[in-house]
Chain A
Amino acid sequence: MTWRSLPRMRPRSADETLAGLRRLRRDGRLRLWLLLALPIPLAVIALALGRYEISLATMFQAVGRALVGQPAATAAETLVLQVRLPRILAALLIGAALGGSGAAFQGIFKNPLVDSNILGVTSGAGFGAALALLLTGSLPLASLAAFICGLAAVLLAYLGAHAHGGSHTLMLTLSGILVGSFFGALTSLVKILADPLSELPAITFWLLGGLSDVTWRSLPLLFLVTGLGGALLLALRWRLNVLSLGDREAAALGLNTRRMKLLIVGVASLLTAAAVAVGGVIGWVGLVIPHAGRLLVGPDHRRLLPVSLSLGAAFLLVIDTLARATLPRETPLGVFTGIVGVPVLFVLLRRGRSGAGWVE
């Protein structure tokens, strides 16, 4: 293109800085790959950890036997394959879903204080599960109801915003907060109606989140949704940069902002709903993980999104392993993520605003 050959008025050491930029990018790439690979060694370690100690040799034997299709030979091997492995996979998938959807929500709402619950997914899911537990007491049904009500809440928030002047971010935020508090109130109502000796504890534990009931049967839907949704978000990762400039600028840059936002909100909500359906309400991951990601690899969603997926997976795996292996009584995950997540967020805030990759 001819205009690129225009005289440049201030060539001051341009080549030097571009070389510097390339060097930075090379260093950044190693860090990026290390972060992306992080969940793998953590998963191997987590498989060996627990109140019942299992040697690494037994663990590899069990996994090896399963891979060639032989049944588990010992109780330890059964424990590894039937209890720990599905639980670890669930932690990885849920963490990735929450981290990735948190990054996507923060991107389109161009606000680093937003988390996956901004449109009321989690509140809706909580209500669905609580209602199902009250009416049937069945955990699989609670899971299904959570998934459906979570998505229904987002739909309601979206339609509510749409009725009042389109898909503008501020309207969407307000609508999401309203829907969230509405379902929160309904959940409280369900709790009041529940039997305080049997149903109420079940509901409370579900709402605090946990993976102790995970079996292989919990995994296919979670795997499918996280796999497809994560892939779609990854494919759209650069568009998220453009969308985060705001509706007007993105529209002038040729994006169909309404359709793009609907797509990303839909995918991120599906991810969150699937995660909540299996793990219950696990807060903080969707808020803290994208922040940590921005500190480590910067705000560019081309890096931030994959890193949020892997960092979310790693974080939740560590939290869940701590929850099941350290304390004598299993602690709900929602409690643990809050206790670990809040100090982490404070540390991140201390690291400085510009370092965190966002403004003021």
Chain B
Amino acid sequence: MKRLDVQGLAFAFHPDRPVLRGISFAVAANEVVYVLGPNGCGKSTLFNCLSGVYAPQGGRVLLDGADLTHMAARRRAHYIGLVPQNHAAAFAYSARDMALMGRAPHLGLFETPGRADYEAADAALAAVGLSHLAARPFNELSGGERRLVTIARGLAQESDVLLLDEPDAYLDPKNQHLVQETIVALARQGRAFLISSHSPNNALLYGDRVLLLEAGRVVADGPPPEVLTAAMLSAAYGAEMEIIYESNNGAQRARAVLPVRAGHDGHDRR
């Protein structure tokens, strides 16, 4: 893939309450793009529209010029995959069988997974560090481990673009780091990742670019240090935020985003 183009995407559950009001942006291969924004700004809906779970009511999604919105589901799943937020299964499939389901777009209607599919699933489980839990029932795993299994499922899908809906939720710091480093490494090999998150710090640390969403619109789009400013974040989240900088030979580098507590002068920490 070379480029994912999203042009004027619109979606509403009720006509008088639009969730997405004309979202446009582009993602190039090798990029890790973080989508930030307050609760209810439309991050999950955007991902559901991009991956074909919902049919967009306006706009287009183009991957190297091919329109994904009017494509057969199976073909689209080769181009774009989704790791959703919820992580429950009605039946206690093993972690390995869950990861294996990422292979669905690569298999015909009547086919069952073969050796190559098992290899892809096992490799994906290894990439998120869960090989030792392969045989365990999915619903006996911890919330974080389930998260990792669904991420492995997304990796096993081997789509050009992978959308991850809050992959850092439920994960301990080590696993957040593992998952995001894996994502960055995969992106450098020619894939692209869109990650929705509530952690501006993760965007700062691992992101190539940040999209800031507010009420169904893109309000900022650019490199993390440019988008993640105190003014921009305070306005987007409706809460005062500050950026902690690190000085290195006179050059300042943003290292962390923190909320400002009432009565505490944040500047004391410098």
Contact = CB atoms under 8 A, between A and B. Distances in A.
B260 interface: no
B157 A253 contact: yes
Interface string B141-185: 000000000000001011000000000000000000010001001
Interface in B88-102: 88-94, 96-97, 101-102
A248 B48 contact: yes
Contacts of A354: 92, 137, 139-140
Interface residues of A, number: 51
A248 B109 contact: no
B81 interface: yes
A75 B213 CA distance: 84
B131 A11 contact: yes
B216 interface: no
A12 B186 contact: no
B93 A251 contact: no
B112 A238 contact: yes
Interface in B57-103: 72-78, 81-82, 84, 88-94, 96-97, 101-102
A294 B134 CA distance: 19
B122 interface: yes
Interface in B29-79: 48, 51-53, 72-78
Given A235-B110, A254-B104, A359-B92, A24 B74 contact: no
A248 B113 contact: no
Contacts of A11: 126, 131
B127 A8 contact: yes
B85 to A, nearest CB: 10
Interface in A178-231: none
Contacts of A257: 73
B90 A252 contact: no
Interface size band for B: 35 or more
Given A17-B134, A242-B104, A252-B53, A3 B155 contact: yes
A358 B138 CA distance: 10
A13 B132 contact: yes
A244 B74 contact: no
B92 A254 contact: no
B230 to A, nearest CB: 34
A235 B112 CA distance: 8
B53 A251 contact: yes
A143 B91 CA distance: 36
B93 A241 contact: yes
A350 interface: no
B89 A238 contact: no
Contacts of A294: 91
A236 B107 CA distance: 11
Interface in A243-271: 244-257
A178 B201 CA distance: 51
B132 A12 contact: yes
Contacts, number: 144
Nearest to A111: B90
B92 A253 contact: no
B101 A241 contact: yes
A255 B75 CA distance: 10
B196 to A, nearest CB: 14
Contact of A255 (B91, B96, B104, B132): B104
B252 interface: no
Given A3-B155, A6-B127, A358 B90 contact: yes
Nearest to B179: A9
Contacts of A249: 82, 84
B81 A252 contact: yes
Given A8-B126, A255-B73, A300-B97, A112 B110 contact: no
A254 B72 CA distance: 8
A253 B110 contact: no
A244 B77 contact: no
B157 A14 contact: no
A112 B73 contact: no
Contact of A245 (B72, B101, B129, B140): B101
Contacts of A163: none
A51 interface: no
Contact of A3 (B53, B73, B96, B189): B189
B182 A6 contact: yes
A329 interface: no
B22 interface: no
Contacts of B94: 298, 300
Contacts of A359: 88-92, 139
A299 B91 contact: yes
Interface of A: 1-4, 6, 8-14, 17-18, 20-21, 24, 107, 110-112, 235-239, 241-242, 244-257, 294, 298-300, 302, 354, 357-359
6 contacts: A239-B104, A252-B77, A253-B101, A255-B73, A256-B74, A359-B89
Given A354-B139, A359-B90, 4 more contacts: A8-B126, A17-B131, A235-B110, A255-B73
